[in-house]
Structure 1
Amino acid sequence: MSVGNVSFIKDFVIVGFPGLQPHYYGLVSALLFFVYVRSLQKPVYYFIINLVVCDVLFSTTTLPKIISRYWFQDGTISFMGCFLQMFFVHYFDSVTARLLAVMAIDRYAAICLSLRHHIMTNRNVFILILGSWLLGLIGPLMMIIRADPLPYCASNTIVHCYCDHIAITTPACTDREEYSYPAFIHAMIVLLGSLAVIVFSYCAIIVAVLRISSAQGRMKTFSTCSPQLIIIALFFLPRCFNYLSSNINIKFSTDLRLVIIMMNSLLPPMINPLIYCLRTDEVKKVLIRKLQRKKIDIKSGKT
């Protein structure tokens, strides 16, 4: 493909989407809650803490520019700033996918291999979490190295709410396939590989749960796993659809695409704190105890 009339752009203009200003106060509150309450400092909650950290950092990476776009009508972002944002967007996504897979393995070991679950010590959990953070660096670095030499002819407008690989490579005035396919393959390996581990783990868990004779025992096990299943669905389904639709040329309106991106990126950080805190029995018990204690303190203060 001819690459005539190439220009060297200094910044990108983000289109964004109207009327959506997400907040991450709930995420920070959830993080402080898990760190503060010692009874929740167990391996399974270490995974949740790291997921909350990923959500907070993702929101911190994307939220300032979204607010700037709508509060101050400033949708521009520097060329290097856009690439840096792309790196962190894909990095936190990659880490989250791996953490969810490792969490599913932990639940599988706890329910199906209960006699061997003792191997999930704090040290081993730390190694698994650290591995998730380190392995997540590979893909985003590859995307930046591959996308950096792309030429841009005229348009520097990104039909997106932040910079990611698809948004940055689309305006390029050259054949983007050789740049987009390696990134697409890596994304599918991370997403579908993690999802395969999760599906296997939870299928095994469901089979094990159905063998429990007590209905109360089955309900307790399902209630333990349900928060993670909701988080998994919110994370994987929109992302897989977004990557597949962009790479197999499914055509739909820009507004619909931006709504899908919103579901993909901003809905989970807003909903996850409620799932972490209100769909987990142990967390609910701690919250109830603390609220009752506050109520008693208020009553004793009045008398």
Structure 2
Amino acid sequence: MPERNHSSVTEFILTGFPGLHQEYYGLVSAVLFFVYLITLIANATVIFLFATNHSLHKPMYYIILNLSVCDILFSTTTLPKIISRYWFQSGSISFTACFIQMYFVHYLGSVNSFILFQMALDRYLAICYPFRYSLVLTKSNILILSITAWIISKAFPLMMVIRAYPLPYCASNIITHCFCDHIGITVLTCTDRTPYATPAFTAAMVVLLGPLAFIIFSYCSILIAVYKIANVQGRLKSLSTCSTQLIIISLYFLPRCFVYLAQNVGITFSADVRIVIIMLYSLAPPMINPLIYCLRAKDMRESLLKQFCKRIVPRKAQVAAISNS
């Protein structure tokens, strides 16, 4: 049974990047604000394009829609607080708010992992079983998979919060991180964290390595299927259809795997380097993903150009009418 919470801590302090000099606070907050702004605009554009273009109502774009919503929510959960840390020198966060942030950080991370699993499934069926694709990945099936991902992802983060919240926090209240996560909080307890850390680590590995195992299998199968295509142009076309998703998946999983492997094989690096790596794999993909869709996905690119032309042509017509009058 967890111990009763006799914590003397009423709030936590987020350090952000521990070694950062105060003279760079303004620059860092401006960069983080720019990242947040681009993330919101880019992902909102994807959602807008999906809502206004019926041609995008395909299984792959339903998956991308879920990813964009998840990316907006994750960035909104993490970035505003760390921006205020450097912009207004306000790094404090209340005890309860920290756990709420911790829940959403791990929850949305889990959702993201399952959405990338769906992406791999989409390409696997499209290339390895093209004649069954439209029968298996229907809109209703994608909707069921998406809802399932959002629901089952609640379990592990909720378990983490329920077990960590009642622990006694009577030591330091300084979290060496840019946001509240399970490790950053539980290292501050006044009790042995092993009984709480081991289940949390196991859950994280299941959520991370489970989808990753299928993703590796699916792309190996895709490479084998593409190799069997006699036509070189056909090979390139098949590879091109999954290259976008492979880039997105690599941005999400590879840095995470590096951090986990480094911790387990004894590779150590400074707190600043660790936080920079975590921030890169947490915040870069939500900002970059929509740009990759619009540049690589033909339907998305055409929808974006169509919306752009709709805005430009009426303006030109209006200018011409004014000049003729």
Shorter-chain TM-score range = over 0.9
Distance 1:60 1:26 in 2: 14
Is there any run of 5+ residues in structure 2 with no aligned partner, and where? 18-24
The answer on whether the counterparts of 1:224 and 1:281 sit within 8 Å (CA) in structure 2 is no
Give the one of 178, 182, 204 matched to 1:161: 178
TM-score, normalising length: structure 2: 0.86
Is there any run of 5+ residues in structure 1 with no aligned partner, and where? none
Amino acid at match of 1:13: I
The answer on whether the counterparts of 2:7 and 2:167 sit within 8 Å (CA) in structure 1 is no
Are residue 73 (structure 1) and residue 89 (structure 2) matched?
Answer: yes
Q: Compared with structure 1, are the counterparts of its residues 218 and 224 closer, same or farther at alpha carbon in structure 2 (3 Å cutoff)?
A: same
Q: Compared with structure 1, are the counterparts of its residues 220 and 294 closer, same or farther at alpha carbon in structure 2 (3 Å cutoff)?
A: farther
Q: Percent identity?
A: 54
**How far off its partner does 1:287 sit?**
2.6
Equivalent residue, structure 1, for 2:72: 56
**How far off its partner does 1:252 sit?**
1.1
After TM superposition, the structure 1 = structure 2 runs for residues 105-144 of structure 1, keeping only pairs within 5 Å, are: 105-117=121-133, 118-144=135-161
Give the one of 100, 103, 111 matched to 1:84: 100
**How far off its partner does 1:298 sit?**
4.7
- Once the two structures are overlaid, the 10-residue window that deviates more, 151-160 or 47-56, is 151-160
TM-score, normalising length: structure 1: 0.92
Distance 1:162 1:183 in 2: 17
Please state whether the residue corresponding to 2:188 is helix, strand or coil.
coil
Q: Compared with structure 1, are the counterparts of its residues 60 and 194 closer, same or farther at alpha carbon in structure 2 (3 Å cutoff)?
A: same
**How far off its partner does 1:132 sit?**
0.6
Distance 2:84 2:68 in 1: 24
Q: Compared with structure 1, are the counterparts of its residues 38 and 183 closer, same or farther at alpha carbon in structure 2 (3 Å cutoff)?
A: same
Q: Compared with structure 1, are the counterparts of its residues 161 and 203 closer, same or farther at alpha carbon in structure 2 (3 Å cutoff)?
A: same
Equivalent residue, structure 2, for 1:215: 232
- Once the two structures are overlaid, the 10-residue window that deviates more, 244-253 or 49-58, is 244-253
**How far off its partner does 1:177 sit?**
1.7
Distance 1:278 1:216 in 2: 20
**How far off its partner does 1:243 sit?**
3.7
The answer on whether the counterparts of 2:127 and 2:225 sit within 8 Å (CA) in structure 1 is yes
Equivalent residue, structure 2, for 1:265: 282
Amino acid at match of 2:247: I
Distance 1:169 1:243 in 2: 18
Equivalent residue, structure 1, for 2:13: 13
Equivalent residue, structure 1, for 2:196: 179
**How far off its partner does 1:219 sit?**
1.6
Are residue 27 (structure 1) and residue 40 (structure 2) matched?
Answer: no
Equivalent residue, structure 1, for 2:21: none
Amino acid at match of 1:207: I
**How far off its partner does 1:247 sit?**
5.8
Equivalent residue, structure 2, for 1:194: 211
**How far off its partner does 1:300 sit?**
4.2
- Once the two structures are overlaid, the 10-residue window that deviates more, 234-243 or 193-202, is 234-243
Equivalent residue, structure 2, for 1:44: 60
Amino acid at match of 2:12: F
Q: Deviations over 1:97-117 (max 9, x none)?
A: 111112211211111111211
Q: Deviations over 1:149-201 (max 9, x none)?
A: 32223210001000011111122232222211111111111111100111111
In the alignment of these two chains, the number of paired residues is: 299
Distance 2:90 2:308 in 1: 43
Amino acid at match of 2:168: P
Please state whether the residue corresponding to 1:266 is helix, strand or coil.
helix
Q: Compared with structure 1, are the counterparts of its residues 231 and 251 closer, same or farther at alpha carbon in structure 2 (3 Å cutoff)?
A: same
Equivalent residue, structure 1, for 2:296: 279
- RMSD (CA atoms): 2.0
Distance 2:267 2:163 in 1: 24
Distance 1:172 1:153 in 2: 7
Distance 2:158 2:312 in 1: 51
Q: Deviations over 1:41-63 (max 9, x none)?
A: 11110000000000000011112
The answer on whether the counterparts of 1:83 and 1:163 sit within 8 Å (CA) in structure 2 is yes
The answer on whether the counterparts of 2:49 and 2:303 sit within 8 Å (CA) in structure 1 is no
The answer on whether the counterparts of 1:147 and 1:169 sit within 8 Å (CA) in structure 2 is yes
